[in-house]
Each structure stands twice: as C-alpha cells, then as structure tokens.
Structure 1
Amino acid sequence: MKGLKVYVDDELERHFRKVAMEVYGYGRGSISRAVEDAMRRWLSEYEILEGIEIPEDPIKAVRGMLKHVKKSGVELQHEVRRIRARKAI
C-alpha cells in the first residue's frame, strides 16, 4: 500500500473526518477506507463521463427527434404542465 499526502481546506477535512468515522467507525483505518471509497467513486464517475461524446452543435444533434409527434410544441408544454401538476398532488 502507498501513502498519499494531500492538502485540503480545513473545514472540508474536518467534515470529511467526521462523516468518515460515522460511516466506517471510529477505529483505525476508517479515514483510509473513506478516502479509498471516495477515490474509487470519483474515478468511476470520471471514466463514465469521459466516454460521453458531447456534440459540437447540440441543436443539430436534437433537430428532428420529435418529428413523429403529432402535437405542437405548445400542446406538449401544456401536457407536461398537467402531468407535473398531477405528480405534485
């Protein structure tokens, strides 16, 4: 196992230690386990996002996607408003 020395904001470090100990316990190694978990999650998220291609022209990428829909844009907006209102109840 390797050691890694990092410098972070004091408040972030205090909060991280507190939460790490609540999650992994107050025993030896809880901070290391929390850091490993955080690093693995960050790497996983980064690798997923790295694989996503962002189109050069987003408008061109979505143009024509709704041409099979028979309703107008205004009708779709009203329908969405009704759906959201029902979900809020």
Structure 2
Amino acid sequence: MVLKVEFGNELEQQFRELAMRRYGFSKGSIKKASEEAISIWIKQQNPSLPKVKDPFTLIEGILSRVRGKYTAVQLQHEAAKLWIK
C-alpha cells in the first residue's frame, strides 16, 4: 500500500535523519520508521474501541434515524459529523 504524506521541511528533515540513524542509510529505512511511527500512534489512540468487522453495518445503524429525511449528499454530511464525534 502507498500512503502519501506531506510534511513541513523541518519535520521531514528530522524524520529522515532519525530514520537513517536508526535503520541505516540504505533503501527502506524511511519505510521502516514510518511503519513504526504509525503503529505507535495507532496504539496510543483509544485502545478500548471494539474492533468492527463490517463498518458499513455500523454506519447504517448510526444513520437509521435519518433514513428518508435527507438526500444522499445530506446523509454524507451527517455521517461525517457522526464519525467526528
């Protein structure tokens, strides 16, 4: 999978330097450091959230109260508001 991320110059420079110090100056050091950083960030987020097998079912349940009252675009905006909470 490819994930494109844009950083400020200073942050990028610091990240590259630390990644290469830790994993070496060879190909793949940035990838390893990125995977480690993202894994740590994910673990630091609310670990008590239950795992969801089918997120679409979850969305349908959340939006069941608004079915038939809004257009598809309005439902998308409503879904975004609910997920942000």
Relative to the length of structure 1, the TM-score reads 0.52
- 2:13 is matched with 14
- 2:40 is matched with 41
What is the identity percentage for the equivalent residue pairs of Structure 1 and Structure 2?
A: 39
Amino acid at match of 2:15: F
User: Hey, which bits of structure 1, 4+ residues long, moved more than 3 A?
Assistant: none
Q: Considering only aligned residues, what root-mean-square deviation do their CA atoms show, in Å?
A: 1.5
Shift of 1:38: 0.2
More RCO (CA 8 Å, sep 6+): 2
d(CA) in 2 for partners of 1:17, 1:26: 10
Structure 1: unaligned runs, 5 residues or longer: 53-89
- Aligned residues, how many? 49
Structure 2: unaligned runs, 5 residues or longer: 50-85
SS at match of 2:3: coil
Relative to the length of structure 2, the TM-score reads 0.54
Amino acid at match of 2:46: E
d(CA) in 1 for partners of 2:12, 2:46: 25
State which structure, 1 or 2, has the greater radius of gyration over its C-alpha atoms.
1
